[in-house]
Amino acid sequence: MNQIDLHHRHAVVTGGAQGIGNSIASRLLSSGASVSLWDRDGELLSVALKQLGERGEVSAETVDVSDTSSVAVATAATVEKHGKIDILVANAGIAGPNHISGVRKSLCAAPD
């Protein structure tokens, strides 16, 4: 396995409770980083925290990355626990329309 030296680095992985995000977190831990898993599913976060916690320093924050205030709270909590954030893996996906795409749609609509 390819490995880089991430000792003394702290990573945040959004959507880290399962799937690709969880695999990314696992690889970061293997390279020596500490990791914060951010996900909106608290139950999945608990399971992932137990599984990955055996491999290194891992914490978890329940956060909705589409909500700015939720991200601000998670950021503050992560910095409080780990002192810094060196790496951000923006893995969480947002499917379907959101408030930005709705605004763009209305701005781009042809006038009646």
The full set of domain ranges for the chain reads 10-108
Helix, strand, coil percentages, rounded to 5, for the chain: 45, 15, 40
Burial of 38 (0-12, 13-18, 19+ CB in 10 A): buried
Encoding tokens for residue 93? 């996906």
Output the pTM of the full model. 0.81
**CATH H superfamily, domain 10-108:** NAD(P)-binding Rossmann-like Domain (3.40.50.720)
Per-residue pLDDT tens digits of the chain, which is 112 residues long: 677 999 999 999 999 999 999 999 999 999 999 999 999 999 999 999 999 999 999 999 999 998 999 999 999 999 999 999 999 999 997 665 655 555 554 445 555 5
